[in-house]
Structure 1
């Protein structure tokens, strides 16, 4: 299958590209600089589109997704002052909105998968996930002071409320890792419909390579996709056993 990946040069996006190529998938990667994917440039199954994702015109975006069976977004804001508070403040949300519009414009014969990398700090309101009053207060402050958090919330809400679960052209999943860490290899991980611990006061750990593996499997494994489509699965590294 052919998969469009945005955020492909990020810490998790690079791992997702590597995983997909390793397993024989065709990848289109939208990147500002091809140098950041230099180790993959000789891969026959990789097509690099050199551009900021929101710099593409509607016509260009529609053309790029035309032959894709799936889209994966690992977009995030750079942890710099400009990245956190500069433009585009709605990078993840606006990308989701425009890519979904491009998919619809192509009128695909079967639904295109959209996998969004999100966060456990964002609640799935379809499930009315309970959190403590203290966590509500902290999240409200984060939402007010750190624009990327609101962007993550709005992107998932766009998929959840605007695309919905019965769209004939787009199916989606929003993957929610907890505290992200770097590991060299894929390890055991657990999946949950909702967080099993507080993202603020008792966060778990999730390795980026495990997130990439789960996202790749969602995109390519029909049974796994049917289990989690229209949902916001939480992924944690498995707790070590004594």
Structure 2
């Protein structure tokens, strides 16, 4: 069985990723803001580290965490409050991603990063085209909404800076609007958004469970990983829209 490090483990999607990995028999280390947050899951075998990668652990400690893991699942998101959106850390995802990738850089074994992102982030490197109205809207969001800019820059960091690194493999998962419940595997994964259906204004929807399930499958490696590594797949549920 594999060993996984989950960041953002107390968030709505991160909790489900921890649960899914343990269901599959993997060892999990979860970085949490408060150890009590996962108590209701009854996951006694999950190792919990209280704090955040940016503020609570040195570079050396992060290197130790990463060295013990086959894959790192990053399910971070900004708290949806005025301070959570507009106050530091304004680049929570990007700066955490950089610290994790740097910790992997000198390793002898390839490591996997699975990043939860958003289908509102366009992969320009593949020539992905969004409708004009969507490009204008996401451009406005980039300059006015720090969490969106954070997601954009995190994805671009993986694509342009990490690239196809010798020691760091990655996948940037882009779900549609996230919904609670709907704990089934009725989802599809595609390489890019269908521009005819829109993006931010479109019907694309995904359940948090489905995102967690797909991220866990990516982290395990195998064919799923080979199909999607170094890519930015879009995950959505046809039953929920789109």
TM range (shorter): over 0.9
Deviations 1:109-138 (A, max 9, x none): 2x1000000000001112111112211111
> 1-side partners of 2:239 and 2:33: how far apart?
37
Deviation by residue 1:184-220 (Cα, 9 ceiling, x = unmatched): 4223111110012311222311000000000011111
Equivalence for 1:163: 162
Q: Does 1:144 align with 2:174?
A: no
Q: Across the two proteins, how many residue pairs are aligned to each other?
A: 237
Matched position secondary structure for 1:5: strand
Query: 3-state DSSP class of the match of 1:235?
Result: strand
Structure 2 length-normalised TM? 0.94
Runs of 4+ in 1 over 4 A off after TM superposition: none
Tell me, yes or no, if structure 1 residue 218 matches structure 2 residue 218. Answer: yes
For 1:234, the equivalent position in structure 2 comes to 234
**Is 1:193 aligned to 2:194, yes or no?**
no
2:117 — aligned with what? 118
Residue 102 to residue 240, structure 1, CA distance change in 2 (3 Å): closer
The structure with more helix, counted as a fraction of residues: 2
Secondary structure in 2 matching 1:150: helix
Which structure 2 segments of 5+ residues have no match? none
Please list every run of 5 or more consecutive structure 1 residues that lacks an aligned counterpart in the other structure: none
CA offsets 1:124-173 (integer angstroms, 9 cap, x no match): 112111112211111111111100000001111111111102x1100000
Alpha-carbon distance between aligned partners in 2 of 1:35 and 1:201, rounded to the nearest angstrom: 37
Q: Which range moves more in the overlay, 183-192 or 8-17?
A: 183-192
TM-score by length of 1: 0.94
